[in-house]
Each structure stands twice: as structure tokens, then as C-alpha cells.
Amino acid sequence: AQTVTQSQPEMSVQEAETVTLSCTYDTSESDYYLFWYKQPPSRQMILVIRQEAYKQQNATENRFSVNFQKAAKSFSLKISDSQLGDAAMYFCAYRPHRGTGTASKLTFGTGTRLQVTL
Amino acid sequence: GAVVSQHPSRVICKSGTSVKIECRSLDFQATTMFWYRQFPKQSLMLMATSNEGSKATYEQGVEKDKFLINHASLTLSTLTVTSAHPEDSSFYICSARTEVVANEKLFFGSGTQLSVL
């Protein structure tokens, strides 16, 4: 079974600074997707960034980028120029590339609460 | 972008009653819908997966008769918490997946906070 581990329950960053959230996963699959989701106080799940395992290039979305190390099964999220609105819970998630129905489910990590201070 | 509407956003009910939560995909056909449960300060735990027109697949430890899931159409899935008890109080989130969208995203509803008195 796939597992996703986030070892940082809480992180803090000053506004305008950079922070990196860690995520490791375990899978026997060779092709899969990895995601970072943001859950603000509203509790709406928001997709931050997505990485396809067969792509070597790290995904980037504006101030958000990932460091995807497939051999190490590591998928960290870097937030640059942190803003107050970045404060939220961040969940790392995994899903297999192939599969339908329940085989296409997301497996979430336990989350990292990010605080952004002035 | 694709939108998933989940209702109600908040519900308070008495112990022993049943509560129905709806999850609708507004501008796409959802071949698969997922129901998650989230306790305070915890992660999302998958409860069940539903495909249109077929029985839901429940995760281990989730009571099928307690949490009834119906996916009658490609745009609507419902979760009914039957004979609710205080321990069923939680945040429930649905998400929808479509085979049409090739970017493999999941679209989440805004969640339902269930409080059982």
C-alpha cells in the first residue's frame, strides 16, 4: 500500500521569506502523480501544484515549486516570497497514474500547518 | 474551471436521525466520486469511492450500512449518515474525478461540518 509521510506538523515563515515543506512517500509503482494541496481556514481544498513522476523537470506554479527526487521518493514544496494568505494546512498527496474508480484515489499525508508571520 | 458543489455546508442534528449530504459536479460529468472524512487537525481519510450506476467501494473499517452512498447520475453523489451519533460528528468532503479532463485533477467540494447532539 502507498503511504505518504509529512514529518513537519508545523512550520513558520516570515512574510517575504522562503519555506520548504517536506514530503516522502512509499510506492512500488513507477508511474504516478504527486500533489500539494492547501487547506485554508475555510477548509476548501485547493490544488497548489502537481507533479507527474515520469517527468524529470520539477513543477513550478508562480511562487510555488517542488523538488521531486524520485529515487529518494521525496517531494518537497518550496514557497517563495511567502504571503500572509499562504497560511494554511498543506497536504502532500499521491495517486497512481493508472487506475479507475477506487484505484484512482488520493492518499494524503498528515499535513503541515504553515504559519506566516509579519 | 470545474466546480463541485457540496451541500449543506453545516448541519446539526439529533442523535439517531439521518443526514444526507449532496455532492454535485456542476460543469462536468464525474465518473468517480470520493468521500472523505476529516477530524480536527487531522488529514483526510477516504471513506468510500463511488462510480456512477454501481455500488460504492468502502475502505476498510467504514460501515456500509452506516454511511450510505448513492451515485445515481454522472453529476450527483450523496452520502447519508444513518442513525447518526455524536462520534459521527466530523467534516465530510467529497471530490469528483472525470475521465474527460486529461490533467488528472480532482475537484473538491467545500465540505460539510456535521455536528450530532
Q: How far is B70 from chain A (nearest CA, A)?
A: 14
For A1-118, strand residue ranges (E) read 3-5, 10-14, 19-21, 24-26, 32-39, 46-52, 60-61, 64-69, 74-79, 88-96, 107-108, 112-117
- Grid coordinates belonging to A12: 513558520
**Can you tell me which residue has the cell 452512498?**
B69
How far is it, in rounded angstroms, from Cα A74 to Cα A66? 10
pLDDT score of A26: 95
Contacts of B32 in chain A (CB under 8 A): 100-101, 104
How far is it, in rounded angstroms, from Cα B102 to Cα B81? 33
Q: How many residues does chain B have?
A: 117
User: Could you read off the pLDDT of B52-77 as tens digits, one per residue?
Assistant: 888 899 999 999 999 999 988 889 99
Burial label, A67 (beta-carbon count in 10 A; 0-12, 13-18, 19+): middle
Chain A nearest-CA residue for B54: A101
Question: Above 90 in pLDDT, residue A85?
Answer: yes
The angle formed by the CA atoms of residues B96, B61 and B77, to the nearest 5 degrees, is: 25
- Name the band, by pLDDT with cuts 50, 70 and 90, for residue A105: confident
Q: State whether the Cα torsion A36-A39-A40-A45 is positive or negative.
A: positive
pLDDT score of B102: 52
User: Could you read off the pLDDT of A12-71 as tens digits, one per residue?
Assistant: 999 999 999 999 999 998 889 999 999 999 999 999 999 999 988 999 999 999 999 999
pLDDT score of B29: 85
Say yes or no: B9 contacts chain A, CB-CB below 8 A. no
What's the average model confidence in pLDDT over A77-99?
93
pLDDT score of B54: 83
